[in-house]
Amino acid sequence: MKIFLVEDNEELNSFITDTFEKLGYSIVSSNDGAEAFAMCDDYFDLYLVDINLPNLNGLELVKKIKSKKDDSKIFIISGDDNIDTIIKAYDFGCSDYIKKPFDLREIIAKINITFKDKLNNQIKITSDCYFDKNSKLIYHKQKAITLTKKESQLLQILVENIGKIVQKEEIEKAVWGENTGNGHVRQLVSKLKKTLPCESIIQNHSSNGYGILTEGLY
């Protein structure tokens, strides 16, 4: 997941950024409303926006983001508990309003609920690399890695069996439809490793086959 945090309190900004990075999220941050709007052409799954921002109020920022990207998910994080402000935030298009001070676990819980389907389809391989079961693509720092058809087939069978050794014969049948027995698997694994920025995830297990070591699921 890719998150855009807009928070002018430097200490809170750093704390949220560091925490989400440790959890494996990709996060970009800004402490200025106008700067944030200039940066929002990039794709983000979620915006975390404070209200009291320099140069562009957070509510106006929400309104501008929604006018540009109507399907954007935006959580307001603010110490303003005035009901008129909260109603205006929802009218402008925020998905949730989280009052300060808050426990960061509340935001994480809300993210897990809001993006449940998306997260369930992402298999985390490293802190910045995951496999999407819907698109059958691997993503590194939120960017899809282009693979050949056979490389994609090989990666898919390894991902579907994370933590296990996949026998060479099983890989051959999944990729070529038959047992080739002439080093095709070894050559394909070598090509895939060179293509992936996280090539060390694919481990050779003696002469038996190959497997992926992973840090777990989102």
pLDDT digits (tens, 9 = 90+) for 122-160: 777 777 778 887 777 788 777 788 888 898 889 889 888
H/E element, 85? helix 83-92
Q: pTM of the entire structure? A: 0.62
- CATH tag, 2-120: 3.40.50.2300
Q: How far apart are CA 37 and CA 211, in angstroms?
A: 43
Amino acid at 149: K
State how far the alpha carbon of 216 is from the alpha carbons of 28, 144, 189, in Å.
Answer: 23, 20, 22
Whole-number Å distance between alpha carbons of 55 and 87: 22
Residue 87 near residue 95 (C-beta atoms within 8 A) = no
Question: pLDDT tens digit string along 25-73?
Answer: 889 999 999 999 999 888 888 999 999 999 999 999 999 999 988 888 9
Domain spans, the chain:
2-120, 125-212
Among residues 114, 118, 162, 145, which one has the least CA distance to residue 1?
A: 118
Tokens of 28: 């970009």
CA distance 41 to 189: 36
Confidence bin at 182 (pLDDT 50/70/90): low
Q: What is the CATH number of domain 125-212?
A: 1.10.10.10
Inter-residue contact 127 to 170 (CB < 8 Å)? no
Q: What is the pLDDT of residue 177?
A: 85
